[in-house]
């Protein structure tokens, strides 16, 4: 293996190791000597007495370099010298051996690298060797190899040297460094040849200086080759070691050797350097300022980013959100249309009003009792109710009253009650109170019709609300001078009914009195115009008070005249008579031998009163309301034709004309009739109708057999307020005019002296009508219980103008229709004739055959 020192290799080096090429540890070529000087131990030329060299037997053979070979680089053993010096001699070392440039930092401790302006000029000063290559640089492979050796030397530096100064074998396979022993004057150092100059390097204490006599001296002024004591050698070695450690550069591969400083001999395990004393360091203000600036920059960048997001990216979103909070849409209620009678009298009207509300949290607790007393007195409410609302401090809104009169609201606002607010609105008034209450219906708090005409014509009456977009503040008040968008409301249209207020009042009073007198559950009266089928009056008892509908029972919300279904009884016999006459199976003068009872299937049917079997004309049977004679005529007609006639008169179908709550009744298919039902249907048991349907039957007979759909609405107003009459009802011929006249004569006989409806007769007027008494089916009990008493007729009989129907449900004081319902008919018809100014015809009743023997 090669023993050249290389570039500062580890402890395996021989002569203390040299630094990098051209560095402080490189040996320099003397002007006259052919050989190369080796570094002395300690790097200061203070080795043995005469700088003893290596014995000749230990000097390796030297190879001559081929100058013609470009790859023959001076990195072999001959390039480093026999002592393993780093790079051989430098061109700048041809000055005398005893002379070198004095340095100011010889005794100043660690040296610094000379600046460019301080370095000597020439090839030696520029750091180039004899071959022209830069000193201190080696090929990449050689540099890696030398760096590994230096690292190995560093690793082995702490090991104990063998006696005699020989170290353990290093990475290069050489013996340990003998520099330390040479520095102490021990044999083993390489002898200096005559003519060789003293080695120079940065690893020494300093550049060699010449004495006044011209001999080179060390840094301390001693002759280079003079003997020195062991203590001096140790001091020099320690100084060289410190200087080499201080002069390390990033290019050096090891501690001291790369800079040319000699490594002292190993002295066993290295002791850790003493810890520096703890020094209390004050904070660096610049560092604090920098940290603060960084923090402020970070925070401000967050604010700036958020600002960009809000003002730039999401500007439209926040603008819309702000507008949504600030801009409010306020509904402008439309004025609801009025409901009037046929003469224009108001039955339901809309007036301006106020809704009063209060914020209970703004009312002082000490004044709540006083405020409650004032509000209760003005609003017509109980003081306890108002006090309970004022005590609700968990909410900021309490509605005190709706539809308050504007004068009352103004008076309360002037009383300066805390946080009292009034909102403009409309209220529905019913000037007539309970007049036609269930027919007209009522309006809820939200302005929607909940019953009667109010619900049936709600869309027409309600109109269309407007809206206004305004900007409001936190307190809900409109911000002045701000833009607003307004859509004007469209007021509702007026509805004119066919009801005559006066006749309605008379009918309602008469049936209410009779219900009270007879102890009936309820009663109904309908007055209808014969020629137009317009309903002049539709009264119910008990009737709904529209101004206090919240306190009324739900049963009074129903318009019983059009919705309550019942079995008509004998009033239905006119349909059987019409079917028999139309089928020509009988004539008014057809005589029957009529017993007081008849068997039908498994049932025995009886007349209303007992009598012996007697001959009876069909007209007489109708006048006396004989069930047996009617069954006998119905058997000739047949169930199918009877069913068809019932259907033609409107049974089993809902009446048209817009009457609210109208029901269809019940008409079973004739194929499903039971054995007894084939007989009972003839006199009005086993089918169900409403009062409106039965009144329509008599209107058809009185109108010459032409049925007209009942009408309740006379007309409406258009958008300009002009009245537009409703179209007439649909007309349908049910029976011939001859049949209608024959039935009229039969009905006129029923009101005569031999008839059951004598109490319905009106002085001066010819009246045609029919009583009805039927078993009442109670749906709650699921069986028949009580009776239904009714009377239907028209006047004048020879020229009919009005039809009146009266019905009492479940009367307790009597149950016959001629006894209870006929008087109601008479009272209402008499008033209606006078109100309509219908004069008597003046014609006398035509003589007809009533009895079989006449």
Are 414 and 487 found together in one domain?
A: yes
The pair of structure tokens assigned to 845 is 């009743």
Decide if 764 is inside a domain: yes
pLDDT value for 832: 96
Are 245 and 380 found together in one domain?
A: no
Decide if 278 is inside a domain: no
pLDDT value for 850: 58
Dist. CA 613–CA 628, nearest whole Å? 10
Averages of pLDDT over each 10 residues, the chain, 854 residues: 39 38 40 40 37 44 54 47 42 42 44 48 44 47 50 45 40 37 38 43 41 41 43 52 47 42 60 76 79 92 89 84 79 91 94 91 89 90 90 89 90 89 89 93 89 93 87 72 80 94 96 95 96 95 92 90 93 94 92 91 86 90 91 93 94 89 92 90 93 96 95 93 92 95 92 89 93 89 90 94 96 93 96 93 66 53
| Closest by Cα among 303, 330, 338, 590 to 440 | 338
Cα separation values, 163 from 160, 180, 181, 575, Å: 9, 12, 10, 153
- Please give the model's pTM, rounded to 2 decimal places: 0.63
Q: Check the CA dihedral 233-234-235-240 and report its sign.
A: positive
Cα separation values, 307 from 294, 303, 310, 321, 323, Å: 20, 6, 5, 17, 20
Q: What is the extent of the structural domain holding 601?
A: 506-545+564-718+725-835
Decide if 280 is inside a domain: no
DSSP 309: I
| Closest by Cα among 595, 490, 491, 499 to 540 | 499
Are 478 and 395 found together in one domain?
A: yes
Which of 267, 288, 306 is the endpoint of a domain? 267
Concatenate the DSSP letters of all residues of 632-686 into one string. HHHHHH-HHHHHHHHHHTTTTS---S--TT----B---GGG--TTHHHHGGGT-S
C-beta atoms surrounding 609 within 10 Å: 10
Dist. CA 199–CA 652, nearest whole Å? 142
Decide if 557 is inside a domain: no
**Residue 587 φ/ψ region, left for φ over 0, alpha for ψ in the -120 to 50 degree band, beta for the rest:** beta
Are 470 and 530 found together in one domain?
A: no
Number of domains in the chain: 3
Contact 512/542 with Cβ under 8 angstroms?
yes
| Closest by Cα among 230, 246, 222 to 105 | 246
Decide if 63 is inside a domain: no
Which of 267, 293, 310 is the endpoint of a domain? 267
Q: Is-catalytic flag, 177?
A: no
Decide if 849 is inside a domain: no
pLDDT value for 320: 81
Dist. CA 713–CA 499, nearest whole Å? 8
Are 411 and 524 found together in one domain?
A: no
CATH number of the CATH domain containing 395: 3.90.1310.10
Which position among 20, 338, 518, 570 bears the catalytic label? Answer: 570
pLDDT value for 236: 53
Are 229 and 377 found together in one domain?
A: no
Are 94 and 33 found together in one domain?
A: yes
Identify the H or E element spanning 200. Answer: none
Dist. CA 13–CA 15, nearest whole Å? 6
Which of 214, 248, 267 is the endpoint of a domain? 267
pLDDT value for 241: 55
Dist. CA 489–CA 72, nearest whole Å? 112
CATH number of the CATH domain containing 533: 3.40.710.10
Q: Is 207 helix (H, G, I), strand (E, B) or coil?
A: coil
pLDDT value for 324: 76
The pair of structure tokens assigned to 829 is 């018809």
Q: Check the CA dihedral 374-379-385-390 and report its sign.
A: negative
Decide if 89 is inside a domain: yes
Are 675 and 637 found together in one domain?
A: yes
Bridging pattern class, strands 346-358 and 522-529: unpaired
Dist. CA 664–CA 657, nearest whole Å? 13
Are 699 and 829 found together in one domain?
A: yes
Concatenate the DSSP letters of all residues of 247-300 into one string. T--TT-SSTTTTTTPPPPPPBSSPPPPPPPPP--PPP-HHHHHHHHHHHHHHHH
Dist. CA 226–CA 554, nearest whole Å? 140
Contact 851/753 with Cβ under 8 angstroms?
no
| Closest by Cα among 235, 185, 190, 245 to 13 | 190
Are 41 and 184 found together in one domain?
A: yes
DSSP 596: S
Are 205 and 258 found together in one domain?
A: yes
pLDDT value for 294: 93
| Closest by Cα among 64, 51, 63 to 2 | 63
C-beta atoms surrounding 117 within 10 Å: 5
Decide if 4 is inside a domain: yes
Contact 56/125 with Cβ under 8 angstroms?
no
Are 351 and 488 found together in one domain?
A: yes
């Amino acid at each position: 293996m090669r023993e050249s020192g290389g570039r500062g290799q580890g402890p395996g080096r021989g002569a203390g190791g040299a630094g990098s090429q051209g560095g402080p540890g490189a040996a320099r070529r003397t002007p006259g000597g052919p050989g190369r000087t080796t570094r002395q131990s300690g790097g200061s030329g203070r080795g043995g007495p005469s700088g003893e060299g290596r014995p000749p037997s230990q000097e390796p053979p030297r190879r001559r370099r081929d100058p013609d070979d470009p790859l023959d680089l001076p990195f072999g053993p001959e390039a480093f010298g026999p002592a393993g010096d780093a790079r051989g001699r430098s061109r700048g070392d041809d000055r005398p051996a005893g002379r070198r440039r004095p340095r100011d930092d010889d005794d100043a401790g660690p040296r610094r690298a000379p600046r460019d302006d301080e370095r000597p000029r020439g090839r030696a000063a520029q750091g180039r060797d004899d071959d022209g290559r830069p000193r201190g640089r080696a090929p990449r492979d050689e540099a890696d190899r030398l760096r590994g050796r230096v690292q190995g030397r560093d690793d082995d530096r702490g090991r104990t040297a063998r006696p005699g100064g020989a170290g353990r074998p290093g990475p290069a396979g050489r013996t340990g460094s003998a520099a330390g022993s040479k520095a102490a004057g021990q044999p083993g150092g390489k002898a200096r040849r005559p003519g060789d100059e003293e080695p120079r390097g940065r690893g020494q204490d300093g550049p060699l200086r010449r004495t006044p006599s011209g001999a080179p001296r060390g840094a301390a002024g001693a002759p280079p080759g003079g003997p020195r004591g062991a203590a001096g050698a140790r001091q020099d070695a320690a100084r060289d070691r410190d200087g080499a450690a201080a002069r390390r550069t990033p290019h050096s591969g090891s501690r001291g050797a790369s800079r040319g400083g000699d490594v002292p001999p190993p002295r066993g395990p290295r002791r850790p350097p003493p810890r520096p004393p703890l020094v209390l360091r004050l904070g660096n203000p610049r560092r604090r300022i920098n940290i603060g600036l960084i923090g402020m920059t970070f925070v401000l960048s967050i604010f700036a980013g958020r600002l960009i997001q809000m003002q730039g990216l999401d500007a439209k979103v926040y603008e819309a959100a702000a507008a949504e909070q600030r801009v409010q849409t306020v509904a402008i209620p439309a004025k609801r249309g009025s409901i009037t009678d046929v003469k224009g009298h108001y039955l339901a009207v809309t007036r301006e009003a106020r809704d009063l509300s209060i914020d209970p949290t703004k009312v002082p607790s000490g004044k709540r009792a006083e405020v409650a007393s004032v509000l209760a007195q003005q609003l017509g409410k109980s003081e306890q109710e108002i006090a309970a609302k004022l005590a609700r401090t968990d909410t900021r809104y309490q509605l005190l009253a709706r539809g308050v009169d504007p004068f009352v609201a103004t008076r309360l606002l002037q009383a300066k009650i805390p946080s009292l607010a009034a909102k403009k609105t409309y209220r529905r008034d019913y000037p007539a109170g309970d007049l036609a209450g269930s027919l007209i219906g009522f309006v809820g708090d939200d302005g929607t019709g909940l019953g009667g005409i109010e619900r049936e014509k709600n869309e027409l009456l309600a109109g269309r609300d407007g809206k206004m977009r305004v900007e409001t503040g936190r307190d809900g008040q409109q911000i002045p001078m701000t833009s607003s968008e307004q859509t004007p409301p469209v007021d509702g249209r007026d509805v004119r009914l066919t009801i005559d207020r006066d006749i309605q009042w008379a009918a309602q009073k008469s049936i209410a009195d009779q219900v009270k007198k007879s102890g009936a559950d309820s009663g109904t009266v309908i007055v209808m115009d014969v020629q137009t089928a317009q309903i002049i009056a539709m009264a119910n008892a008990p009737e709904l008070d529209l101004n206090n509908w919240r306190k009324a029972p739900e049963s009074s919300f129903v318009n019983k005249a059009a919705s309550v279904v019942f079995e008509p009884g004998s009033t239905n016999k006119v349909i059987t008579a019409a079917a028999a006459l139309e089928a020509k199976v009988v004539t008014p003068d057809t005589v029957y031998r009529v017993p007081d009872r008849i068997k039908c299937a498994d049932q025995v049917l009886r007349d209303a009163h007992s009598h012996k079997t007697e001959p009876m004309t069909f007209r007489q049977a109708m006048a006396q309301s004989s069930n047996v004679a009617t069954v006998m005529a119905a058997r000739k007609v047949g169930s199918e034709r009877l069913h068809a006639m019932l259907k033609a008169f409107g049974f089993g179908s809902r009446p048209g004309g817009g009457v609210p709550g109208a029901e269809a009744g019940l008409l079973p298919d004739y194929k499903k009739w039971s054995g007894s039902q084939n007989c009972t249907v003839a006199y009005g048991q086993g089918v169900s109708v409403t009062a409106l349907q039965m009144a329509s039957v008599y209107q058809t007979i009185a109108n010459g057999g032409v049925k007209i759909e009942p009408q309740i609405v006379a007309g409406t107003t258009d958008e300009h307020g002009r009245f537009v009459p409703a179209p007439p009802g649909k007309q349908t011929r049910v029976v011939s005019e001859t049949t209608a006249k024959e039935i009229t004569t039969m009905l006129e006989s029923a009101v005569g002296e031999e008839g059951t409806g004598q109490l319905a007769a009106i002085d001066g007027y010819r009246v045609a009508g029919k009583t009805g008494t039927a078993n009442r089916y109670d749906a709650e009990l699921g069986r028949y219980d009580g009776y239904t008493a009714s009377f239907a007729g028209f006047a004048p009989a020879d020229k009919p103008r009005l039809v009146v129907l009266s019905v009492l449900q479940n009367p307790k004081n009597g149950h016959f229709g001629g006894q209870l319902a006929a008087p109601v008919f008479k009272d209402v018809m008499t008033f209606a004739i006078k109100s309509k100014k219908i004069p008597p015809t003046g014609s006398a009743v035509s003589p007809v055959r009533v009895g079989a023997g006449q």
